[in-house]
Amino acid sequence: MALQHRVACIQMTSSDDISSNLSLAQSLIQDAVEQEAKLIILPENFALMGFDQADKIKHREEIDNGPIQTFLSSEARRHGIWLVGGTIPVAVPKKRNKVFACCLVYDDRGRRVGRYDKIHLFDVHLRETKEDYLESKVIDPGEKVVVIPTPFGKLGLAVCYDVRFPEMFRLMLKQGVELIALPAAFTFTTGSAHWDVLVRARAIENLAYVLAACQTGIHVNGRRTYGNSMIVNPWGEVQVCLPENQGMIIAEVNLEFQNRIREDFPALAHRKMKIEEK
Protein backbone atom coordinates (compact mmCIF):
# COMPACT_ATOMS: atom_id res chain seq x y z
CA MET A 1 0.00 0.00 0.00
CA ALA A 2 1.32 3.42 -0.98
CA LEU A 3 1.95 5.70 1.99
CA GLN A 4 1.06 9.08 0.44
CA HIS A 5 -2.32 9.99 -1.01
CA ARG A 6 -4.18 13.13 -2.07
CA VAL A 7 -7.50 13.61 -0.31
CA ALA A 8 -10.17 16.29 -0.65
CA CYS A 9 -13.01 17.73 1.42
CA ILE A 10 -15.94 19.49 -0.25
CA GLN A 11 -17.75 22.46 1.29
CA MET A 12 -21.30 23.35 0.24
CA THR A 13 -24.30 25.53 1.04
CA SER A 14 -26.89 22.88 0.32
CA SER A 15 -30.55 23.74 -0.23
CA ASP A 16 -33.86 21.92 -0.48
CA ASP A 17 -33.29 21.30 -4.21
CA ILE A 18 -31.68 17.87 -4.48
CA SER A 19 -30.98 18.16 -8.20
CA SER A 20 -29.14 21.47 -7.74
CA ASN A 21 -27.16 20.12 -4.80
CA LEU A 22 -26.06 17.04 -6.72
CA SER A 23 -25.06 19.18 -9.69
CA LEU A 24 -22.84 21.32 -7.46
CA ALA A 25 -21.37 18.27 -5.74
CA GLN A 26 -20.59 16.78 -9.13
CA SER A 27 -18.76 19.93 -10.20
CA LEU A 28 -16.72 20.08 -7.00
CA ILE A 29 -15.88 16.37 -7.22
CA GLN A 30 -14.63 17.04 -10.75
CA ASP A 31 -12.42 19.87 -9.43
CA ALA A 32 -10.94 17.55 -6.82
CA VAL A 33 -10.35 14.79 -9.36
CA GLU A 34 -8.53 17.22 -11.63
CA GLN A 35 -6.17 17.88 -8.72
CA GLU A 36 -5.62 14.12 -8.40
CA ALA A 37 -7.61 13.48 -5.23
CA LYS A 38 -8.31 9.78 -4.75
CA LEU A 39 -10.43 10.03 -1.59
CA ILE A 40 -13.15 12.70 -1.45
CA ILE A 41 -15.40 13.59 1.48
CA LEU A 42 -18.79 15.29 1.02
CA PRO A 43 -20.44 17.27 3.85
CA GLU A 44 -23.32 16.23 6.07
CA ASN A 45 -26.70 16.70 4.34
CA PHE A 46 -24.90 17.44 1.07
CA ALA A 47 -27.93 16.42 -1.03
CA LEU A 48 -30.63 18.03 1.11
CA MET A 49 -30.80 20.89 3.61
CA GLY A 50 -34.56 21.37 3.71
CA PHE A 51 -36.94 23.77 5.41
CA ASP A 52 -37.56 21.36 8.27
CA GLN A 53 -36.82 17.86 9.50
CA ALA A 54 -39.87 16.44 7.70
CA ASP A 55 -38.08 16.92 4.37
CA LYS A 56 -35.81 14.03 5.34
CA ILE A 57 -38.82 11.73 5.56
CA LYS A 58 -40.13 12.93 2.22
CA HIS A 59 -36.84 12.23 0.43
CA ARG A 60 -35.64 9.16 2.32
CA GLU A 61 -34.21 6.26 0.35
CA GLU A 62 -34.10 2.54 0.93
CA ILE A 63 -30.55 1.33 1.35
CA ASP A 64 -28.87 0.68 -2.02
CA ASN A 65 -31.87 2.07 -3.86
CA GLY A 66 -32.41 5.72 -4.70
CA PRO A 67 -31.18 8.62 -6.81
CA ILE A 68 -28.74 10.02 -4.25
CA GLN A 69 -27.07 6.65 -3.77
CA THR A 70 -27.01 6.12 -7.54
CA PHE A 71 -25.27 9.47 -7.88
CA LEU A 72 -22.60 8.55 -5.31
CA SER A 73 -21.92 5.16 -6.86
CA SER A 74 -21.78 6.60 -10.36
CA GLU A 75 -19.38 9.40 -9.41
CA ALA A 76 -17.04 7.01 -7.63
CA ARG A 77 -17.01 4.57 -10.53
CA ARG A 78 -16.73 7.23 -13.25
CA HIS A 79 -13.72 8.92 -11.69
CA GLY A 80 -12.11 5.86 -10.13
CA ILE A 81 -12.16 7.44 -6.67
CA TRP A 82 -13.25 6.53 -3.17
CA LEU A 83 -16.16 8.73 -2.12
CA VAL A 84 -17.57 9.38 1.36
CA GLY A 85 -21.17 10.47 0.84
CA GLY A 86 -21.64 12.88 3.71
CA THR A 87 -25.02 11.85 5.08
CA ILE A 88 -28.28 10.99 3.36
CA PRO A 89 -31.68 10.06 4.86
CA VAL A 90 -32.08 6.27 4.76
CA ALA A 91 -35.31 4.58 5.77
CA VAL A 92 -35.55 2.84 9.14
CA PRO A 93 -37.26 -0.55 8.78
CA LYS A 94 -40.79 -0.58 10.25
CA LYS A 95 -40.61 3.12 11.23
CA ARG A 96 -42.32 5.27 8.62
CA ASN A 97 -41.61 8.52 10.46
CA LYS A 98 -37.88 7.92 11.05
CA VAL A 99 -34.65 7.85 9.04
CA PHE A 100 -31.01 7.14 9.69
CA ALA A 101 -28.51 9.91 9.01
CA CYS A 102 -26.45 7.56 6.93
CA CYS A 103 -22.84 8.07 5.83
CA LEU A 104 -22.01 5.78 2.90
CA VAL A 105 -18.62 4.97 1.40
CA TYR A 106 -18.10 3.86 -2.19
CA ASP A 107 -14.91 2.41 -3.65
CA ASP A 108 -13.36 3.21 -7.02
CA ARG A 109 -15.61 0.66 -8.75
CA GLY A 110 -18.76 2.26 -7.37
CA ARG A 111 -19.45 -0.44 -4.81
CA ARG A 112 -20.80 0.48 -1.40
CA VAL A 113 -18.13 -0.71 1.03
CA GLY A 114 -19.08 1.14 4.19
CA ARG A 115 -22.05 2.46 6.12
CA TYR A 116 -22.20 4.47 9.31
CA ASP A 117 -25.42 5.69 10.93
CA LYS A 118 -24.89 8.86 12.99
CA ILE A 119 -24.86 7.94 16.66
CA HIS A 120 -24.98 11.25 18.51
CA LEU A 121 -28.00 13.37 17.59
CA PHE A 122 -28.03 17.15 17.91
CA ASP A 123 -30.87 17.89 20.33
CA VAL A 124 -29.86 21.34 21.57
CA HIS A 125 -31.47 24.63 22.57
CA LEU A 126 -29.18 27.65 22.31
CA ARG A 127 -30.88 30.13 24.62
CA GLU A 128 -28.95 33.27 23.68
CA THR A 129 -29.55 32.93 19.94
CA LYS A 130 -32.94 31.22 20.28
CA GLU A 131 -31.83 28.31 18.10
CA ASP A 132 -33.59 24.97 18.56
CA TYR A 133 -32.44 21.68 17.07
CA LEU A 134 -34.11 18.31 17.58
CA GLU A 135 -32.61 15.74 15.25
CA SER A 136 -34.14 12.88 17.20
CA LYS A 137 -37.59 14.00 16.02
CA VAL A 138 -37.01 12.20 12.71
CA ILE A 139 -33.61 10.51 13.04
CA ASP A 140 -32.95 7.18 14.73
CA PRO A 141 -29.44 6.96 16.20
CA GLY A 142 -26.97 4.38 15.00
CA GLU A 143 -25.29 2.02 17.42
CA LYS A 144 -22.08 0.89 15.73
CA VAL A 145 -18.67 2.54 15.48
CA VAL A 146 -17.34 1.97 11.96
CA VAL A 147 -13.78 1.70 10.64
CA ILE A 148 -13.20 0.33 7.15
CA PRO A 149 -10.05 -0.73 5.28
CA THR A 150 -9.16 1.46 2.30
CA PRO A 151 -6.10 1.91 0.07
CA PHE A 152 -5.38 5.08 2.06
CA GLY A 153 -5.41 3.53 5.51
CA LYS A 154 -8.06 2.43 7.96
CA LEU A 155 -10.86 4.99 7.70
CA GLY A 156 -13.13 5.82 10.62
CA LEU A 157 -16.52 7.43 10.02
CA ALA A 158 -18.07 10.11 12.23
CA VAL A 159 -20.61 12.88 11.65
CA CYS A 160 -20.77 16.43 13.03
CA TYR A 161 -21.97 16.26 16.67
CA ASP A 162 -20.05 13.00 17.12
CA VAL A 163 -16.85 15.08 17.33
CA ARG A 164 -17.80 16.09 20.90
CA PHE A 165 -17.61 12.51 22.18
CA PRO A 166 -13.96 11.41 22.39
CA GLU A 167 -14.83 7.94 23.67
CA MET A 168 -16.24 7.13 20.23
CA PHE A 169 -12.86 7.81 18.62
CA ARG A 170 -11.07 5.69 21.23
CA LEU A 171 -13.25 2.80 20.09
CA MET A 172 -12.06 3.50 16.55
CA LEU A 173 -8.48 3.11 17.78
CA LYS A 174 -9.26 -0.44 18.83
CA GLN A 175 -9.97 -1.07 15.15
CA GLY A 176 -6.69 0.54 14.09
CA VAL A 177 -8.03 3.85 12.75
CA GLU A 178 -5.58 6.02 10.81
CA LEU A 179 -7.87 8.50 9.02
CA ILE A 180 -11.18 9.93 10.22
CA ALA A 181 -13.80 11.25 7.79
CA LEU A 182 -15.96 13.89 9.48
CA PRO A 183 -18.85 15.25 7.39
CA ALA A 184 -20.49 18.11 9.30
CA ALA A 185 -23.07 20.89 9.32
CA PHE A 186 -21.96 22.71 12.46
CA THR A 187 -24.03 25.72 13.45
CA PHE A 188 -22.27 29.07 13.18
CA THR A 189 -22.76 29.70 16.89
CA THR A 190 -21.23 26.47 18.15
CA GLY A 191 -18.68 26.32 15.35
CA SER A 192 -17.32 29.75 16.19
CA ALA A 193 -16.77 28.60 19.76
CA HIS A 194 -15.61 25.01 19.42
CA TRP A 195 -15.10 23.61 15.90
CA ASP A 196 -11.37 24.16 15.43
CA VAL A 197 -10.38 22.96 18.89
CA LEU A 198 -12.60 19.86 18.71
CA VAL A 199 -11.34 18.73 15.30
CA ARG A 200 -7.71 19.30 16.25
CA ALA A 201 -8.21 17.55 19.60
CA ARG A 202 -9.56 14.41 17.93
CA ALA A 203 -6.53 14.40 15.62
CA ILE A 204 -4.02 15.00 18.42
CA GLU A 205 -5.32 12.54 20.97
CA ASN A 206 -5.64 9.74 18.41
CA LEU A 207 -2.58 10.69 16.34
CA ALA A 208 -4.80 10.40 13.28
CA TYR A 209 -5.69 12.46 10.23
CA VAL A 210 -9.09 14.16 10.39
CA LEU A 211 -10.80 15.04 7.11
CA ALA A 212 -13.66 17.42 7.92
CA ALA A 213 -16.08 18.41 5.13
CA CYS A 214 -18.63 21.05 6.09
CA GLN A 215 -21.73 22.98 5.23
CA THR A 216 -21.31 26.76 5.13
CA GLY A 217 -23.39 29.92 4.88
CA ILE A 218 -27.12 30.62 5.20
CA HIS A 219 -29.56 27.93 4.08
CA VAL A 220 -33.16 28.13 2.85
CA ASN A 221 -34.57 27.63 6.34
CA GLY A 222 -32.47 30.49 7.73
CA ARG A 223 -29.98 28.23 9.46
CA ARG A 224 -26.38 29.44 9.31
CA THR A 225 -23.60 26.87 9.24
CA TYR A 226 -19.98 27.51 10.12
CA GLY A 227 -17.93 26.15 7.23
CA ASN A 228 -14.21 25.82 8.00
CA SER A 229 -13.71 22.49 6.27
CA MET A 230 -10.23 21.36 7.20
CA ILE A 231 -7.68 18.59 6.88
CA VAL A 232 -5.70 18.11 10.08
CA ASN A 233 -2.63 15.91 10.42
CA PRO A 234 -1.84 13.58 13.34
CA TRP A 235 0.23 16.28 15.06
CA GLY A 236 -2.82 18.52 15.14
CA GLU A 237 -1.62 20.87 12.43
CA VAL A 238 -4.25 22.28 10.08
CA GLN A 239 -2.84 21.48 6.64
CA VAL A 240 -5.57 23.36 4.78
CA CYS A 241 -8.84 25.10 5.68
CA LEU A 242 -11.68 26.77 3.78
CA PRO A 243 -13.26 29.26 6.22
CA GLU A 244 -16.36 30.06 4.14
CA ASN A 245 -17.82 29.90 0.62
CA GLN A 246 -18.46 26.80 -1.44
CA GLY A 247 -15.50 24.93 -2.82
CA MET A 248 -13.06 22.20 -1.96
CA ILE A 249 -9.74 21.74 -0.19
CA ILE A 250 -7.05 19.20 -0.95
CA ALA A 251 -3.98 17.90 0.86
CA GLU A 252 -1.72 14.87 1.12
CA VAL A 253 -2.01 12.31 3.86
CA ASN A 254 1.27 10.57 4.60
CA LEU A 255 1.08 7.35 6.59
CA GLU A 256 4.87 7.22 6.91
CA PHE A 257 4.72 10.59 8.70
CA GLN A 258 1.91 9.25 10.89
CA ASN A 259 3.79 6.05 11.72
CA ARG A 260 6.86 8.06 12.65
CA ILE A 261 4.86 10.26 15.02
CA ARG A 262 3.21 7.25 16.63
CA GLU A 263 6.63 5.65 17.15
CA ASP A 264 8.43 8.78 18.39
CA PHE A 265 5.53 9.98 20.55
CA PRO A 266 3.92 6.75 21.79
CA ALA A 267 1.08 8.32 23.77
CA LEU A 268 -1.38 5.73 22.49
CA ALA A 269 0.68 3.02 24.18
CA HIS A 270 0.74 4.96 27.45
CA ARG A 271 -3.00 4.86 28.09
CA LYS A 272 -3.92 3.35 31.47
CA MET A 273 -7.01 1.40 30.50
CA LYS A 274 -7.36 -0.18 33.94
CA ILE A 275 -7.87 3.28 35.41
CA GLU A 276 -10.55 4.05 32.81
CA GLU A 277 -12.41 0.85 33.70
CA LYS A 278 -12.63 1.53 37.45
Q: Which residues pair with 81 in a beta bridge?
A: none
The strand order across the sheet containing 153-157 reads: 146-150, 153-157, 179-184, 209-214, 229-232, 238-242
Of 38, 56, 98, 118, catalytic: 118
Query: Does the annotation count 214 as an active-site position?
Result: no
Angstrom distance (rounded) from CA 117 to CA 97? 16
* Among 181, 237, 246, CA closest to 215: 246
Of 9, 102, 103, 160, catalytic: 160
Query: Does the annotation count 118 as an active-site position?
Result: yes
Given a contact cutoff of 8 angstroms between Cβ atoms, the answer to whether 145 and 177 are in contact is no
Query: Does the annotation count 160 as an active-site position?
Result: yes
Of 9, 38, 44, 241, catalytic: 44
Catalytic residue positions? 44, 118, 160
